[in-house]
Amino acid sequence: MTSRLSARLLCVLALQVVSVTAHAELEVVADLGGTSTAAYFDGINNQGGVVASSSEPLSTSVTPVMGLPVSTPELTPGKVEARTLNLAGMRPLFLIGDDDLSRRWLAMRRDALVQLNAVGLVVNVASEAALNDLKKHADGLELLPVSGSDLAKRLGLSHYPLLLTEKGLEQ
């Protein structure tokens, strides 16, 4: 009878261990505050599905310099081949870095980017001074220093500057 009791006790303990590990929650290692950029990527995340994006602009209550420096090893300045994409609901984004090619591209495309209400993702920038210099060139456009690694992987990107819209990407 004791062996049956031991077997039952062992089963109960095993189930409790499985239950505890199955319901374990993630531990937050660092939370710098701010607002999620997920809404900017609704079109990419929901390809072929219904986009559940809010039409309200994202809050920028946290200063962008908190995330500096930003480095995206997958992305470098260079030539981008235009291609068609189906990203319904995607808010226009442009990717730039702290380099001469990005500054020239921004100067040439600024008016069109303003008309599109595009948001700029600065994927390579080392300092607050460099970000502020890019903001002078962007005059009136929102620039966010963020890593472009996930975007590069999802869309197979290797170069910037580029404009990403719901219809595709182009330089």
Tell me: the pLDDT tens digits for 60-116?
444 555 678 999 999 999 999 999 999 898 899 999 999 999 999 999 999 999 999
The domain defined by 33-170 folds into Glutaredoxin (3.40.30)
Question: Which amino acid is residue 155, in one-letter code?
Answer: L
- At what angle are helices 100-116 and 128-138 packed, to 10 degrees? 50
**Distance (Å, rounded) from C-alpha 45 to C-alpha 52?**
10
Q: Is residue 97 a contact partner of residue 124, using CB atoms and an 8 Å limit?
A: yes
Domain boundaries, the chain: 33-170
114: amino acid identity, one letter: V
- Chain centroid to CA 29: 19
pLDDT in tens, 135-170: 999 998 999 999 999 999 999 999 999 999 999 999
What is this structure's pTM? 0.65
For the beta carbon of residue 127, count every other beta carbon within 10 angstroms. 12
